[in-house]
Amino acid sequence: MEGITEKQVMAALGQVMEPGAGRDIVALGMISGVVVRDGNVGFSIEVDPRQGARMEPLRKEAESKVQSLPGVVSVTAVLTAHKDAPAESRPAGPAPAPGQAARALVPGVRTIVAVASGKGGVGKSTTATNLAVAMARQGLKVGVLDADIYGPSQPRMLGISGRPSSPDGKILRPMENYGLKCMSMGFLVAEDTPMIWRGPMVQSALQQMLRDVAWGELDILVVDMPPGTGDAQLSMSQQVPLSGAVIVSTPQDIALLDARKGLNMFRKVDVPVLGIIENMSMFVCPNCGHESHIFSHGGAEREAERLGVEFLGGIPLDIEIRETSDSGRPIVVSNPDSPQAQAYAAMAKRIWDKVAAGLEDGGRQAPKIVMQ
């Protein structure tokens, strides 16, 4: 059987009618960014941002029409306001300065902290997972947003499977485990399905996972950011009301160069950098206890001092951290009394202390945490 083609996808979408206009969404020019690869189909539906909620049934119908085509393995459609809104719908007044774009609050979420890195492979997702679980164990109401659309890790690391439900067809319920809530693209597509989206689709998906999810009342939402400093990272930094960012790096020079870029990106958009964590800081032989500095040692601490930010601590290169992360039982849960788990717990407390101080400076009360 020949593979599915873009022409077939567009023909199927031509059967979907826009209820207000009485014409199909292809004829109206609402479809963009169609990508077809190995039976996996992705596309965006461009709508007026004021009509986003009303268009959710249309999005689902579009997915259903394409999914019914022979040879289609998966379909992902997102609503996007990528096209310019009509002039009459734009607010009057000067445009915001760079880094000062309006940042809409997420209902019920008191603070949002990004865990970021300038490059991949430094253990950012593992760090974000253990920090979030540590905060939940310390009594905070915690959520995790997996913002890495192309390489979502949180479902596996948090030991969560299945798909989120949506009682009203508009708002998703986050998945839950270890006392925290989580939303990830990994819940919406198969683990081995590649995400083959362009930038606008990724940005729209991030906004939907943030604001079209019933997060409930949270003290803190930990965002596992994608690596790098591209469109997705910049959009999250500018459009999301971040209370701060934590930078994760290994001690080696090449990683620190990229970590510095990530840190400077947050500074340019007026997001406070709460500190730097040195991951894979050292390796201690489990047999003889000899300490080896495989990726160098102390580089992140020196970089933090040079850049004028706090050094939050170091995490060793440890097989137990890797094994527990792969098995969906983070070390903070599976071995909470271990030195590694205690290090994560101390960092989590310090991060919350800094975020809570910002709340109190704004006249809001911050809950106290309990170290276990």
DSSP secondary structure string for all residues of 83-134: SPPPGGGSPSSPPPPTT----PPPTTB--EEEEE-SSSSSSHHHHHHHHHHH
Q: What is the CATH number of the domain that holds 173?
A: 3.40.50.300
Whether residues 181 and 49 share a domain: the answer is no
**Could you tell me if 263 and 284 are in contact, meaning their C-beta atoms sit under 8 angstroms apart?**
no
pLDDT digits (tens, 9 = 90+) for 22-41: 899 999 989 987 888 778 88
In a domain, 318, yes or no: yes
pTM, rounded to two decimals: 0.71
- How many separate domains does the chain show? 2
Question: What pLDDT is stored for residue 85 in this prediction?
Answer: 39
Report the pLDDT averaged over residues 345-352.
Answer: 96
- More confident position, 254 or 265: 265
Q: Angle, to 10 degrees, between the axis of helix 253-268 and the axis of helix 231-239?
A: 40
Whether residues 274 and 127 share a domain: the answer is yes
In a domain, 95, yes or no: no
Grade residue 2 by pLDDT with cuts at 50, 70 and 90: low
Question: What pLDDT is stored for residue 105 in this prediction?
Answer: 55
What is the rounded distance in angstroms from the CA atom of residue 343 to the CA atom of residue 35? 44
What is the rounded distance in angstroms from the CA atom of residue 225 to the CA atom of residue 213? 18
pLDDT at 86 exceeding the cut of 60: no
Which residue, among 3, 95, 9, 86, has the nearest Cα to 48 in the 3D structure?
86
Which residue, among 216, 217, 220, 210, has the nearest Cα to 185 in the 3D structure?
210
Q: Which amino acid is at 219?
A: D
**Could you tell me if 58 and 16 are in contact, meaning their C-beta atoms sit under 8 angstroms apart?**
yes
How big is the CA angle at 116 (ends 113 and 315), to the nearest 5 degrees?
A: 100
Whether residues 229 and 332 share a domain: the answer is yes
Whether residues 69 and 159 share a domain: the answer is no
Enclosing domain of residue 77: 6-83
Grade residue 165 by pLDDT with cuts at 50, 70 and 90: confident
Whether residues 240 and 323 share a domain: the answer is yes
Question: What pLDDT is stored for residue 96 in this prediction?
Answer: 37
In a domain, 26, yes or no: yes
Whether residues 39 and 132 share a domain: the answer is no
Query: Among 92-106, 200-214, 240-254, 303-317, which is the least confidently predicted range?
Result: 92-106
What is the rounded distance in angstroms from the CA atom of residue 173 to the CA atom of residue 166? 6
Query: Among 155-169, 170-184, 257-271, 338-352, which is the least confidently predicted range?
Result: 257-271
Whether residues 218 and 351 share a domain: the answer is yes
- More confident position, 228 or 163: 163
In a domain, 344, yes or no: yes
Whether residues 177 and 42 share a domain: the answer is no
- What's the mean pLDDT when you consider all of the chain? 82
CA distances from 99 to 93, 94, 236, 358 (A): 17, 14, 11, 19
What is the rounded distance in angstroms from the CA atom of residue 233 to the CA atom of residue 203? 9
Whether residues 60 and 121 share a domain: the answer is no
**Could you tell me if 331 and 340 are in contact, meaning their C-beta atoms sit under 8 angstroms apart?**
yes
Q: Angle, to 10 degrees, between the axis of helix 339-361 and the axis of helix 124-137?
A: 70
Local structure of 358: helix, strand or coil: helix
Q: What is the CATH number of the domain that holds 43?
A: 3.30.300.130
Instruction: Quote the tokens at residue 236.
Output: 């999250």
How big is the CA angle at 301 (ends 261 and 128), to the nearest 5 degrees?
A: 65
Q: Angle, to 10 degrees, between the axis of helix 199-211 and the axis of helix 231-239?
A: 40
Residue with tokens 């022409």: 7
